[in-house]
């Protein structure tokens, strides 16, 4: 699999922990997966230190800088977290270069807990992966987004944006990815006026609506985690930067 992650300075320490977990389970026993780390707003010093720290693993880890200048100002991670629009944009940009791959986004606050081969098999069989998050579409999606996407299935459980996977060899998974990207470029859809983190989940909200739209059409299996934090070979919400800063 091709695994993607990224961070700005406020998640730097968490990013290091995530990379360490990737190496422990996915590279040191056997070189099973590739990782691309995106600079979403790291200082020059942290960016250089990161690459020096893992230089012996350059065959498995690549480093890229997200170019905000190519996108609208509201993408900026320092302005309302860029409405998280950079995430589907990164996934799409890597899809364009890796059109026969399995692509997996992992938030830098995740920790990998096994070799991810079960997750890879799930994607080979089913095409799309995302765990369950709290609440449902009606609770965590601003009405303007629901209307924009003509969603009538608002009782469906939220999917989790901390880890999203696509098996590009399956056409419907590719189509979902492309549609996810296209809608993420439209502020009125991903971050309409009046929405914020108290009533909306930006990229996750858009992805969730599209996930069920495609599932109802193509009848692929969904992954339903039984634990809010522990999922299929990884855990979420392990951010430590606020602790480190203290």
8-23 pLDDT, tens digit per residue, is 999 999 999 999 999 9
Write phi, then psi, for 245 (nearest 5 degrees).
Answer: -65, -30
Residues 6 or more apart whose CB falls under 8 angstroms from that of 52 comprise none
Please write the tens of the pLDDT for every residue from 202-233.
Answer: 999 999 999 999 999 999 999 999 999 999 99
Beta-strand ranges (E) seen in 79-215 are 102-106, 111-112, 128-129, 132-136, 157-159, 163-167
Q: What is the mean pLDDT of residues 131-149?
A: 97
**Cα Rg of the chain (Å, integer):** 17
Structure confidence at residue 82 as a pLDDT band (50, 70, 90): confident
Q: Domain limits at 221?
A: 2-245
Helix (H, G, I), strand (E, B) or coil at 75: helix
Q: For position 245, what pLDDT does the model report?
A: 45
Give the CATH number for residue 147.
Answer: 3.90.550.10
What whole-number distance in Å separates Cα of residue 232 and Cα of residue 129?
Answer: 10
Per-residue model confidence as pLDDT tens digits over 50-69: 999 999 999 999 999 999 99
Question: So what's the pLDDT on residue 91?
Answer: 99
Q: pTM of the prediction?
A: 0.96
Look at residue 241 in the predicted model and tell me its pLDDT: 84
- Can you tell me the distance from the alpha carbon of 17 to that of 166, in angstroms, rounded to the nearest whole number? 24
Distance between CA atoms of 240 and 109, rounded to whole angstroms? 8
Measured distance CA(160)–CA(240) in Å, rounded: 20
Q: Quick one: average pLDDT of 24-50? A: 97
The token pair at 167 is: 């098996």
Region 133-145 average pLDDT: 97
Neighbours of 5 (CB within 10 A): 24
User: Which residues does residue 5 pair with via DSSP β-bridges, in sequence order?
Assistant: 37
pLDDT band at 242 (very low <50, low <70, confident <90, very high): low
pLDDT band at residue 246 using 50, 70 and 90 as cut-offs:
very low
Can you give the pLDDT at residue 59? 97
Q: What is the per-residue pLDDT across 163-207, written as a single tens digit (0 to 9) for each?
A: 999 999 999 999 999 999 999 999 999 999 999 999 999 999 999
- Distance from C-alpha of 168 to C-alpha of 209, rounded to nearest angstrom: 19
Q: Is 50 helix (H, G, I), strand (E, B) or coil?
A: helix
Q: Which residues of 91-112 are buried (b: 16+ CB within 10 A; e: fewer)?
A: bbbbbeeeeebbbbbbbbbbbb
Distances (CA, A) of 208 to 29, 90, 160, 177: 35, 18, 8, 12
In this predicted structure, the answer to whether residue 243 has a pLDDT above a threshold of 70 is no
- Quote the tokens at residue 228: 């809010």
Task: Output the DSSP codes for 136-195.
Answer: EHHHHS-HHHHHHTT---TTSEEEPTTEEEEETTSHHHHHHHHHHHHHHT-HHHHS-TT-
Percent of the chain with pLDDT over 90: 94
The number of domains in the chain is 1
């Amino acid at each position: 699999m091709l695994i993607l992650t990224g961070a700005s300075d406020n998640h730097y320490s968490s990013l290091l922990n995530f990379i360490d977990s990737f190496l422990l389970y996915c590279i040191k026993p056997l070189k099973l997966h590739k990782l691309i780390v995106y600079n979403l707003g790291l200082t020059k010093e942290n960016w250089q230190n990161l690459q020096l720290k893992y230089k012996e693993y350059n065959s498995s880890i690549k480093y890229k800088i997200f170019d905000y200048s190519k996108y609208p100002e509201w993408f900026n991670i320092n302005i309302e977290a860029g409405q998280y629009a950079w995430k589907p944009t990164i996934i799409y940009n890597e899809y364009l270069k890796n059109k026969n791959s399995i692509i997996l986004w992992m938030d830098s606050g995740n920790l990998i807990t096994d070799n991810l081969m079960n997750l890879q098999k799930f994607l080979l069989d089913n095409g799309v992966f995302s765990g369950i998050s709290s609440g449902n579409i009606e609770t965590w999606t601003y009405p303007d987004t629901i209307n924009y996407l003509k969603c009538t299935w608002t009782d469906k459980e939220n999917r989790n944006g901390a880890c999203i996977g696509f098996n590009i060899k399956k056409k419907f998974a590719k189509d979902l990815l492309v549609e996810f990207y296209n809608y993420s470029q439209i502020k009125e859809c991903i971050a309409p006026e009046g929405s914020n983190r108290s009533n909306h989940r930006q990229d996750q909200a858009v992805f969730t609506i599209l996930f069920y739209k495609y599932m109802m059409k193509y009848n692929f299996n969904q992954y339903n985690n039984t634990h809010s934090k522990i999922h299929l070979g990884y855990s979420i919400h392990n951010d430590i930067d606020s602790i480190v800063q203290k």
